[in-house]
Each structure stands twice: as C-alpha cells, then as structure tokens.
C-alpha cells in the first residue's frame, strides 16, 4: 500500500468512524471492499488516484469537506469524488447520466461500488429494495460501464439477486 493510499485509508476511516451500513456493519468496510474489487479482482489496472477515489468515494456524503480532500489529495481526486457523489435533489437517472461522461476510471470505481453493494443487498433484509436496486443497476449503471469484466460481474450479481428475490415471491416491474 502506497503512502497516499494509506493516507486515504486513514482519512476514510475518520470520515466514516460512526457510520454503519444498512445491515449494521461498519461503513468503512464498504470503501475497503470497493478498493479490493479494483485491485484484487478486476482483471485490468487502475491508477493510484483511482484507488484513492475508491476509498474516498462516499466521504462527501458523510460530511467531509471538499477543501480537506483537495488539500490532502489534490484537485483531481476531489473532482473524482465529486463526480461519484450524488447531489442533493439529483435523481438517480440524472446522476447516472452525469456519470456517463465521467472519465473511464471514475466509471470503473462506480462499477466496483455497485458490485459490492449488489453483493451485500441480501444482508439488508429488504427484498423490495433489493429488487429495485437490481433494476436500477440494469437501467442506469450497466449503460455507463464499458468494461467487459465489470459488465459480466454486474449483470451476474443483479440477475442472481433478481432470481433469489423472485423465488421468494417479491417482484418489481422492469
């Protein structure tokens, strides 16, 4: 782990110190998992900045200041984090449309973020929400992903989720 990634790891842990995932796990586990998908699973490579952005991708939503991110990690990292942060009042469709024009590595971070979330939706205990999340993935995330590995993994995870939830009788119209 480079010193910049270590610094981002520490910053992220401070930003998410009191936050929990929907299923109760410490929130910091999520950005760590996104980074691991990009560095341990993904068959391509991503830059150090993309790895830092993966760790910081939810920090603005959790109260970190843009100025702190810019000072600690530079304007390019801040811009990546801002691109991945859904703005207050922004619909998910508008957010996804904005991401379609983002640099490829930002879209790869979003793909890793979505993949991890899909893998954990079963833990949240809300089948209706899980199916809506899978539908949102099909409708809005897959169109912005141009990497075959991520397309396959995201499609598989969303389909698996839909199949398991359909088997339990929960349905969401496509």
What CATH number is attached to the domain comprising 34? Answer: 1.10.3210.10
Q: Is residue 158 part of a domain?
A: yes
Is there a domain that residue 138 lies in? yes
In a domain, 173, yes or no: no
Query: Is position 174 within any domain?
Result: no
In a domain, 172, yes or no: no
- pLDDT confidence of residue 174: 44
Number of domains the chain contains: 1
20-29 burial string, b = 16+ CB within 10 Å, else e? ebeeeeebbe
Range(s) of the domain holding residue 54 = 3-167
Q: Is residue 52 part of a domain?
A: yes
Whether 38 is in a domain gets the answer yes
What does the pLDDT read at residue 129? 84
| Neighbouring residues of 42: CB distance < 8 A, sequence distance ≥ 6 | 108, 112, 149, 150
pLDDT at 167: 58
Looking at residue 169, its pLDDT comes to 56
Q: What stretches in the chain show pLDDT beneath 50?
A: 170-174
Look up the pTM and report it: 0.92
Among 123, 108, 122, CA closest to 154: 108
Name the nearest CA neighbour of 9 among 44, 45, 39. 39
Q: Phi and psi at residue 20, in whole multiples of 5°?
A: -125, 155
* Predicted local confidence at residue 124, as pLDDT: 73
d(CA 52, CA 39) in angstroms, rounded, equals: 12
Residue 39, in any domain of the structure: yes
pLDDT of residue 22: 82
Q: Which phi and psi angles does 79 have, rounded to 5°?
A: -60, -40
């Amino acid at each position: 782990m480079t010193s910049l990634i270590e610094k981002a790891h520490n910053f992220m842990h401070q930003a998410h110190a009191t936050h929990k995932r929907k299923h109760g796990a410490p929130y910091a586990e999520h950005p760590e998992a996104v980074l691991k998908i990009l560095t341990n699973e993904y068959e391509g490579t991503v830059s150090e900045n993309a790895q830092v952005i993966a760790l910081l991708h939810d920090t603005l939503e959790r109260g970190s200041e843009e100025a702190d991110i810019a000072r600690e990690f530079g304007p390019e990292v801040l811009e990546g984090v801002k691109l991945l942060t859904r703005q207050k009042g922004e619909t998910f469709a508008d957010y996804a449309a904005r991401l379609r024009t983002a640099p490829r590595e930002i879209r790869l971070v979003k793909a890793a973020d979505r993949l991890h979330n899909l893998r954990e939706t079963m833990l949240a205990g809300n089948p209706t929400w899980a199916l809506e999340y899978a539908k949102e993935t099909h409708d809005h995330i897959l169109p912005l992903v141009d990497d075959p590995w991520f397309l396959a993994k995201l499609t598989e995870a969303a389909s698996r989720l839909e199949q398991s939830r359909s088997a339990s009788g929960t349905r969401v119209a496509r």
